[in-house]
Amino acid sequence: MSTQASMKAKNTSAKGFIYVTLAAAAILSIFPFYWMFVMATNHNSVINSVPPAFIPGAELVTNFKNVINTIEFFGAMWNSFLVSTITTIGVLFLCSLAGYAFAKLRFKGRNFLFIAILVTMMIPPQLGLIPQYFIITKLDWLNDLKAIIFPGLIDAFGIFWMRQYISSNVPDELVDAAKIDGCSNFRVYWNIAVPVIIPAFATLAIIRFMYIWNDFLWPLVVLREESSYTIQVALRGLIDNYVRDNGMIMSGTFWATVPLIIIFLLLNRLFISSLTEGAVKS
Amino acid sequence: MEHVNSQSRKNRKFWNEERKEAFSGYLYVSPFFILFAVFGLFPILFSFYLGFQKWNGLGEMEYVGLQNFQWILTDPIFWKSLSNTLIMWFLGTLPQLILGIILAYALNSTLIKMKSFFRVSIFMPYVTSTVAVAIVFGVMFNSQDFGLMNVIVSWFGVDPISWSTSEWGVKIAISTMVFWRWVGYNTIIYLAGLQGIPNELYEASVIDGATVRQKIQYITIPMLRPIIILTVFTSTIGALQLFTEPLIYIGRSFREEGITVVLYLYREAFTNLAFGPASATAIILFVIIIIVSSINVFVANRIGR
């Protein structure tokens, strides 16, 4: 009896400890979002006083108007959306096609080519940065979204991911049967493989979309004109001013962050499993 | 249908099934190789070439041998950028991984409810863009009295700290950004690892009278080892490429307190238009990453035994 009671007491205290730890972590994770909102809705003079504002104010609209007057907010959001969507769709198509070839088609040098693709994953992206910039200049793609889209279509991980998924989820018998029925290789890919690999599409789409949406260094290098900025590059324009209007800065950052957070909250299970599974499997 | 069939039968002499399949195979994988040749392989090889040239981006290139490397390796700011990178790697990564394991352990506990709420909130920072994180924390780590961090330290009777201009202030601020954005991500990865540990192991250890600490030491940590190695590996490589946070936080001044290797590279190339030294920096960074990765692999193998 007494050991059971002490076990129970121990469990309760352990439980309390775990709750406190997790609650603290959750608060620290969420607080910056709340604080962003607080600043985005307060006037700069309220923010820049001691103690600063800790509750939302009434300057939501004013601050955002200032954002629009400082940077091309909607244009940049649209550019980011365009670039991320086009790249993601392109990557889904190209990677699944290549993954299908590596998983189901026989051709000479298949293994060698696949390993070559894996090796490219090890190369740090900065190594080719400078010549890449000059290639874009030569192609006359500076300030052109093509400069983000085309290099963004290179996705070694995507091919790896698709190959693994197709190998283990598309049965050989089905592929062979379709071929005997006279389906071309592309037909087999399109009619047999694609419907089966929708879950892999979802995972890869989230990884790729997030990556392109959040990328900063490369867009910073090749997008020099404001009309071509993605939102990440445009946000930098907020803090580059001589007068620091923190309310305005936070308003821009907040509204640039909200769309992705909403999508994340709606699809949180899919997001979390996609983004972490991808890392573990590779 | 008839027509197509008879046509394909005619073609069968050359286009037999094997050939067709191989052709499709090459065709399907070719986009990657074409794009990679243009935007990956060629730039990389050209970087190795540029590293030995003197070039401002417009005029003629001039072969200068090892001069660029010599110049960088004797530049105190390069060494500063390297030591900054390593210090921030240590400050930002190590606590992140340790806290990640603790949080994953807590999330895996059978005692608690609201798990999905905790999971989602802890993961949320990772969905935020690095630029946004750097801007928000940049305002928090404001050097003025009203900066949130200075308000917080004032509760403990500490005078306002000039975060953005002091040696350690900059590093702590930047490391905090990295830490905040990645801790939840690593937590979820560790959680996946913990959930892969068979329950029987714990049950057996309970029968043997193991304490919680012993369970962690003898079951959890060894079983998690591959995932720990993975996270150390990826976060180390990520930390060596640190760029966005310092650029946003210290801005165009490229202050010495916060300059990193990639920032140094960026400054050489796109501010000083010294593309030779910038390429040499890229090569040096590549070598550093190879060395660090090999150390990682070596240590991982040693521990693995």
Residues 6+ apart with CB under 8 A from B144: A48, B150, B160
Are residues B22 and B98 both part of a single domain? no
Q: Average the pLDDT over each of A1-15, A125-139, B195-209 and give the range with the smallest value.
A: A1-15
Label residue A122 by pLDDT band (50, 70, 90): confident
Q: Could you say which DSSP state residue B273 is in? A: -
- B11 with B90, same domain? no
How far, CA to CA in Å, does A198 sit from each of A165, A195, A260, B141, B188?
10, 6, 22, 44, 24
Whether the CB of A22 is below 8 Å from some CB of chain B: the reply is yes
User: Strands B62-63 and B53-54, how do they pair?
Assistant: antiparallel
Out of A14, A26, A260, closest to residue B118 by CB: A26
Among residues A263, A266, A239, the alpha carbon closest in space to that of A252 is found at A239
Query: Between residues 250 and 269 of chain A, which touch chain B (CB distance below 8 Å)?
Result: 250, 253, 256-257, 260-261, 264-265, 268-269
Q: B32 and B114 in one domain? A: no
Question: Tens digits of per-residue pLDDT, B7-35?
Answer: 555 555 677 888 889 999 999 999 999 99
Spatial separation of the C-alpha atoms in residues A83 and A144, rounded to whole Å: 10
User: What confidence tens digit (pLDDT) does each residue in A197-230 have?
Assistant: 999 999 999 999 999 999 999 999 999 999 999 9
Specify whether B205 is located in the same domain as B138. Answer: yes
What is the pLDDT, as a whole number, of residue A3?
62
Between B31, B189, B251, which is nearest A94 by CB? B31
In a shared domain, residues B74 and B176: yes
Whether B145 and B20 map to the same domain: the answer is no
**Residue pair A36/B136 in contact by the 8 Å Cβ criterion:** yes
**Closest-approach residue (CA) in chain A for B270:** A221
Residue B148 lies in a domain: yes
**Are the Cβ atoms of B122 and A272 closer than 8 angstroms?**
no
CA distance A124 to chain B (A): 7
Same domain, B9 and B141: no
Q: Is residue B214 domain-resident? A: yes
CA dist A66 and A86 (Å) reads 30
Evaluate whether residue B204 is within a structural domain.
Answer: yes
State the total domains in chain B. 2
Could you read off the pLDDT of B114-147 as tens digits, one per residue?
A: 889 999 999 999 999 999 999 999 999 988 888 8
Cβ neighbours of B23 in A, within 8 Å: 107
Q: What is the pLDDT of residue B1?
A: 43
CATH number, domain at B125? 1.10.3720.10
Summarised one tens digit per residue, pLDDT across range A223-275 is 999 999 999 999 999 987 777 889 999 999 999 999 999 999 999 999 998 88
Do B36 and B174 lie in one domain? The reply is no
B103 within a domain of the structure (yes/no): yes
Say yes or no: B180 and B36 in one domain. no
Tell me the shortest Cα–Cα distance from B284 to chain A, in angstroms: 9
Asked if the Cβ–Cβ distance from B188 to A125 is below 8 Å, we say no
Contact A172/B at CB under 8 A: no
- B13/B159 same-domain check: no
B58 lies in a domain? no
Range of the domain at B138: 69-304
- Nearest chain A residue to B22 by CA: give it: A107
Alpha-carbon distance B70 to nearest alpha carbon in chain A (angstroms): 19
Residues B176 and B111 in one domain: yes
Contact across the interface for B112 and A50, Cβ inside 8 Å: no
Amino acid at A210: M
Nearest-angstrom CA–CA distance, B280 and B43: 13
Quick one: B137 and B174 in the same domain?
yes
Q: pLDDT band for A130, please (50, 70, 90 cuts).
A: very high
Tell whether B292 is covered by a domain: yes
The pLDDT of residue A4 is 66
Where residue A7 falls among pLDDT bands split at 50, 70, 90? low
In this predicted structure, what is the pLDDT of residue B2? 45
Residue B60 in any domain: the answer is no
Rounded distance, CA B26 to CA B23, Å? Answer: 5
Per-residue pLDDT tens digits for A165-199: 999 999 999 999 998 888 899 999 999 999 999 99
pLDDT digits (tens, 9 = 90+) for B46-77: 999 999 999 988 888 999 999 999 999 999 99
